[in-house]
Chains A and B, each alone.
Chain A
Amino acid sequence: MATPIPERETISVPPDGRPLDQQPAWRQDFPIDWPQDSYIERRDFVKFLTLTSLAFAVGQLWIAGKSWLRSRELPAGAKRIASTADLSVGASLVFDYPAPHDSCILVRLAEAEYVAFSQKCTHLSCAVIARPDQGVFHCPCHEGSFELRTGRVIAGPPPRPLPRIRLQFEGDEIFATGVEGGMV
């Protein structure tokens, strides 16, 4: 009488490939179906990755929602910062704009040249320091540097330029009238 051939679907293949009767006793008692195990592992990993994919899609929607809310915000109004007499050439002044905790920095570069930027470094939001003698805003946390006139990154880890504050002059008074590029 011929030995019955097991169905292919029920064959258990030990990892070393030897037949089951040459395997240790524990494996003979509790044979593991390795191909099935491998199939289930991959199938479960696909399911896990799909959950990750859902999380990324939700994250994208969250950014889109924040963007929509930002687009509905009213533009920041004008706010008086200082008088031209308050600032000598090369000096800087810290002020809050547009919200009370949005720290910004105004620098007088020349007799009639002023620039203002958000003071938050675009890397990890440390406060940048104006160094007009070197022509830079310096971030002491991670040695980031931004150009004083334009706010663009010239050294270090910051990924984006500093958001610029629009200025308007009325007589001797300096007003902040808006933010270019959005606050971090």
Chain B
Amino acid sequence: MPKRTFTREQRTPIVQGMLVFVLILVMLQLWLLTATMNAYLGGDDRVVWPAALASIACFTLNAGLVAYLRRLD
């Protein structure tokens, strides 16, 4: 059985920190989505692609954190 890098006591604060980070990114994405939808419906298409790229970047970060979380277990 491979030796775990972190004990359970160490993993709990790691996952809590990760949770806070993911929560902030998801809130940023929610704000981006509402602001982009508002701009799009108002006829302003300039922000649509930069906002989509920013949102994808947030998701990539979140997915990377989840991948790290799976390696912790």
Contact = CB atoms under 8 A, between A and B. Distances in A.
* A and B co-occur in one complex: yes
B56 A57 contact: yes
Contacts of B8: 8-9, 35-36, 39
A166 to B, nearest CB: 13
Q: Is the interface of B mostly helix, strand, loop or mixed?
A: helix
B58 to A, nearest CB: 6
Given A35-B12, A43-B69, A67 B45 contact: yes
Given A53-B58, A56-B59, A122 B41 contact: yes
A49 B62 contact: yes
Contacts of B73: 43
Given A43-B15, A60-B32, A49 B56 contact: no
Q: Is the interface of A mostly helix, strand, loop or mixed?
A: helix
Interface in B9-63: 9, 11-12, 15-16, 18-19, 22-23, 25-26, 29-30, 32-33, 36-38, 40-43, 45, 48-49, 51-52, 55-56, 58-59, 62-63
Contacts of B38: 159-160
B16 A42 contact: yes
Interface string A106-136: 0000000000000000100000000000000
Contacts of B19: 42, 45-46, 49
Interface in A47-89: 47, 49-50, 52-54, 56-57, 59-61, 63-64, 66-67, 70-71
Contact of A53 (B36, B42, B51, B62): B62
Contacts of B22: 46, 49-50, 53
A56 B30 contact: yes
Contact of B48 (A45, A57, A67): A67
A63 B51 CA distance: 10
23 contacts: A43-B69, A43-B73, A45-B19, A46-B19, A46-B65, A46-B66, A46-B69, A49-B19, A50-B65, A53-B25, A57-B55, A57-B58, A59-B33, A60-B29, A60-B33, A63-B36, A63-B37, A63-B52, A66-B40, A67-B48, A67-B49, A160-B42, A184-B41
